[in-house]
C-alpha cells in the first residue's frame, strides 16, 4: 500500500502551499521545500541548485502524521509511515512557469491507516547568491532602513533592516572598530563570506565600511538556534531527525572545505534554523574562519573549549579535520543531551578534550542506533588525519541510508537537552552581566 504527495507551485516569490493527497506511487521534480513540522512528525528536506532547473534531492525519508478513525470518531495522529524518494529529477525552466505537479515516493507500512490531509508545505525560494564587495565611505542608510535591534553579541549589534527599493527584510550587523587589527579581521570575515554561496550557509547581501563602523547586511534567519528548535514541545526528537540535521551541517561543511576555508567555531549557537516551523539549517558566524594555504602552517588559539579540537588546544597545526571534531561533539550532544567533554570549568573541559575519552554508557544512548554511535566515534578521534572528512561523513551509512536511523522518540535525550540549553542560557546571561559591569553600564536585571 502506498500513498502520494502532490506538490503544486506557481511563482516561487509568492506565498505558496502544497497539499497532501492519496494513493499511488511516483517521484519527480521539485523546488526547495520546507515541511511544516506538526506533532508526531519529523521534517525531511530537499535542496536544489542550478540556474535553469531545480533538482530533487531528499536527504532522508520523511515521517508524516497518519490518522486512523476510532470508534468514537476521533483521529489520533500515528507515526510509522514514511515518505521518501530515492531518485533525482529535474524540471527545466522552473521559475515563473504555470503549475508544475510533483510527486514523492511514499510507502505505507500500516495498511489500515489512511493518508490524512494535514500537511502543508511552505515553498520558500532560496536566498539569492550575490557577489559582494566592501563599500568604503558609503552611508548604508542610503540603501537600507535600519529597524529595531534583534540582538547583541561580543563584537557588534544586529538590527532588522529593509532594503529601500525592494522592501526585502534583512539583518544588519553593525560592528564598531578603532584599531587596524579589528578592521582587518572584519575585512577578512567579509572576504570569506563573499565567496561562500550555499543553501546551508548564511548569505552575505552587502557590506559597508562607514565612519569607523562595519555594516554587514546578511540574510535574515528567524528560526532561532537549532537546539532551541529541537527542545520545543511541538518537536518530536528522533534519531532520524538528528540525522537530517547532521546531514545538512555536513553538506555545508563539505562546501566550506571545498572553498579551502576552515570555520573554526562550529558549535550549536552557530547553527540556526531558517524558520520557526521548518528544519532547514544555516551555518553562521565566520568571524574565526581562516583560508587554508598548504604552503603555510596554520595555528590558532581561540574557539569554545567544549567544542574545540585537541589540536587547537595544543596549538598544533590545524586542518579541515579540525571542524569535523566539533561536528562530532555537536552530534553527541544532539543525540544524548549530554556534552562529552564539558568539565566544571574551562580548564577541566580542556583537559577532558586533550585526553579524548568519552563514553556512550548513558541512558540517553540506549535508544540510539549503533550506526549513529559509529558516526560520532569516527569524528571524535584524537588523530585528526583519521577523522571522517565532510565528504566521507556524508557517505557514512548513518547519513546515507534512510534505514540506518532509528525512528524511536528520544524522550530522555530531549529532557537532558532542555537542561543543557537552560544551563547555556544562564551562563550566557551571567557573562553578559559581567561584561556590562566592566563597561560600567546600567543593568536592568528584569530583562536579563
Give yes or no for a contact between 19 and 6, defined as CB atoms under 8 angstroms apart: yes
How many residues are present in the chain?
448
In the numeric block, which cell numbers belong to residue 35?
515541511
For residue 287, what is the DSSP state?
S
Other CB atoms within 10 Å distance of the CB of residue 9: 22
Q: Which pLDDT does position 440 carry in this prediction? A: 54
Which DSSP symbol is given to 358?
A: -
In contact, 410 and 238? CB cutoff 8 Å: yes
Which residues, in sequence order, are CB contacts of 361 under 8 Å at separation 6+? none
Whole-number pLDDT of residue 437: 54
Q: Give the position of cell 532560496.
A: 126
- Comparing CA positions, the residue from 442, 323, 341 lying closest to residue 393 is 323
Of 91, 130, 58, the closest CA to residue 280 belongs to: 58
Third-level CATH fold of 224-416 = Transferase(Phosphotransferase); domain 1 (1.10.510)
- The residue ranges of every structural domain in the chain are 142-220, 224-416
Tell me the C-alpha distance between 236 and 280, whole Å: 15
For 222-356, where are the E strands, in sequence order?
A: 261-262, 271-273, 281-283, 290-291
pLDDT tens track, the chain, 448 positions: 333 333 333 222 222 223 232 223 332 223 333 333 333 333 333 333 333 333 333 333 333 343 444 455 444 444 444 433 333 333 333 333 333 333 343 444 444 444 333 333 334 457 888 999 999 999 999 999 999 999 987 778 999 999 999 999 999 999 999 999 999 999 999 999 999 999 999 999 999 999 999 999 999 999 999 999 999 998 999 999 999 999 999 999 999 999 999 999 999 999 999 998 888 999 999 999 999 999 999 999 888 999 999 999 999 999 999 999 999 999 999 999 999 999 998 999 999 999 999 999 999 999 999 999 999 999 999 999 999 999 999 999 999 987 778 888 999 999 999 999 998 887 776 665 555 455 454 444 333 3
Question: What fold does the segment set 142-220 form as a domain?
Answer: Phosphorylase Kinase; domain 1 (3.30.200)
Question: Which of 343, 339, 320, 312 is CA-nearest to residue 421?
Answer: 339
Q: Choosing from 61, 265, 285, 323, which is the catalytic residue?
A: 265
| Active site annotation includes 265 | yes
Q: How far apart are CA 244 and CA 240, in angstroms?
A: 6
Q: According to the annotation, is 276 in a ligand binding site?
A: no
Amino acid at each position: 500500500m502506498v500513498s502520494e504527495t502532490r506538490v503544486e507551485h506557481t511563482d516561487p516569490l509568492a506565498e505558496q502551499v502544497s497539499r497532501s493527497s492519496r494513493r499511488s506511487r511516483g517521484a519527480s521534480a521539485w523546488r526547495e521545500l520546507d515541511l511544516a513540522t506538526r506533532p508526531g512528525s519529523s521534517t525531511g528536506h530537499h535542496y536544489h541548485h542550478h540556474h535553469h532547473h531545480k533538482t530533487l534531492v531528499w536527504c532522508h525519508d520523511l515521517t508524516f502524521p497518519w490518522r486512523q478513525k476510532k470508534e468514537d470518531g476521533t483521529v489520533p495522529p500515528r507515526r510509522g509511515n514514511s515518505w521518501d524518494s530515492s531518485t533525482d529529477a529535474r524540471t527545466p525552466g522552473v521559475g515563473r512557469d504555470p503549475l508544475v505537479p510533483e510527486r514523492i515516493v511514499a510507502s505505507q507500512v500500516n495498511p489500515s491507516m489512511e493518508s490524512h490531509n494535514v500537511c502543508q508545505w511552505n515553498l520558500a525560494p532560496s536566498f539569492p547568491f550575490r557577489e559582494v564587495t566592501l563599500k568604503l565611505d558609503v552611508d548604508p542608510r542610503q540603501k537600507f532602513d535600519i529597524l529595531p535591534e534583534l540582538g547583541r553579541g561580543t563584537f557588534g549589534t544586529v538590527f532588522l533592516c529593509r532594503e529601500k527599493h525592494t522592501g526585502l527584510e534583512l539583518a544588519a550587523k553593525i560592528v564598531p572598530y578603532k584599531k587596524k587589527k579589528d578592521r582587518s579581521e572584519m575585512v577578512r570575515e567579509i572576504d570569506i563570506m563573499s565567496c561562500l554561496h550555499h543553501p546551508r550557509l548564511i548569505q552575505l547581501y552587502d557590506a559597508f565600511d562607514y565612519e569607523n563602523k562595519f555594516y554587514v547586511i546578511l540574510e535574515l534567519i528567524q528560526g532561532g538556534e537549532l537546539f532551541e528548535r529541537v527542545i520545543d514541545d511541538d518537536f518530536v526528537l528522533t534519531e532520524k531527525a538528528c540525522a537530517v540535521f547532521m546531514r545538512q551541517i555536513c553538506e555545508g561543511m563539505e562546501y566550506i572545505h571545498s572553498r579551502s576555508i576552515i570555520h573554526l567555531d562550529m558549535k550549536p549557537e552557530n547553527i540556526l534554523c531558517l524558520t520557526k516551523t521548518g528544519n532547514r539549517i544555516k551555518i553562521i558566524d565566520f568571524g574565526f574562519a581562516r583560508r587554508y594555504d598548504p604552503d603555510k602552517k596554520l595555528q590558532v588559539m581561540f574557539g569554545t573549549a567544549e567544542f574545540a579540537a585537541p589540536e587547537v588546544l595544543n596549538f598544533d597545526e590545524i586542518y579541515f579535520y579540525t571542524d569535523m571534531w566539533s561536528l562530532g561533539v555537536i552530534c553527541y550532544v544532539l543525540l544524548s543531551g549530554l556534552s562529552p567533554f564539558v568539565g566544571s570549568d574551562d580548564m577541566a573541559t580542556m583537559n577532558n578534550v586533550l585526553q579524548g575519552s568519552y563514553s556512550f554508557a548513558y541512558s540517553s544512548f540506549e535508544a540510539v542506533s549503533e550506526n549513529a554511535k559509529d558516526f560520532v566515534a569516527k569524528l571524535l578521534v584524537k588523530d585528526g588525519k583519521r577523522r571522517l572528512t565532510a565528504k566521507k561523513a556524508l557517505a557514512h551509512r548513518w547519513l546515507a541510508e534512510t534505514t540506518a536511523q532509528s525512528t524511536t522518540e528520544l524522550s530522555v535525550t530531549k529532557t537532558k537537552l532542555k537542561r543543557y540549553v537552560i544551563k547555556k542560557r544562564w551562563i550566557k546571561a551571567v557573562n553578559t552581566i559581567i561584561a556590562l559591569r566592566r563597561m560600567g553600564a546600567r543593568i536592568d536585571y528584569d530583562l536579563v
